[in-house]
Amino acid sequence: MRRLAALALLIAAPLPAQAQDYAEVALPDPAQEAQASRLMDTIRCVVCQGQPISGSNADLAGDMRRIVRERIAAGDTPDEVRAWLISKYGDWVSFKPQVKPATLPLWLIPLVALVLGIWLVSRRLRRHH
């Protein structure tokens, strides 16, 4: 019984190591790897914040790369994988956030501030002339 348990441990032991390496190993299908790489360049590392997961050394970024490759290999589209990552980590994880009612103020406030600034500067210039 002990030998059987030891054998099972030896067989299962490499599995986590293989899963760990999958974060760094390219997919065998070049088209799928290209999709995964493009997607990884547009997903923000939640640890490094300003860096894409494709170039981050953080453990979490490695986990995210692994998830991207596994899901692409399983047949998910990059948009499906992006949606899943956003559902797990929030809109902030994407370098290309979508415009939707909840994020509309984030898109409009800078535009309104710019227009207001231009208007204030033009008023001040008119007063001095």
User: Can you read off the two tokens belonging to residue 100?
Assistant: 């939707």
What is the distance between the alpha carbons of residues 120 and 123, in angstroms, rounded to a whole number? 5
Report, as an integer, the average pLDDT of 20-39: 84
Among residues 111, 116, 113, which one has the least CA distance to residue 99? Answer: 111
What is the distance between the alpha carbons of residues 31 and 53, in angstroms, rounded to a whole number? 19
For the chain, state the CA radius of gyration: 23
Predicted TM-score (pTM) of this structure: 0.64
Task: Confirm if 91 and 98 have CB atoms less than 8 A apart.
Answer: yes
Is the pLDDT reported for residue 15 higher than 70? no
Q: What is the pLDDT of residue 101?
A: 84
Q: How far is CA 82 from the centre of its chain?
A: 7
Report, as an integer, the average pLDDT of 25-40: 93
Please tell me the CATH superfamily of domain 2-97, with its number: Cytochrome C biogenesis protein (1.10.8.640)
Listed by start position, the domains of the chain span 2-97, 99-129
Give the tens place of pLDDT for each residue, 60-111.
999 999 999 999 999 999 999 999 999 999 888 988 777 778 778 877 899 9
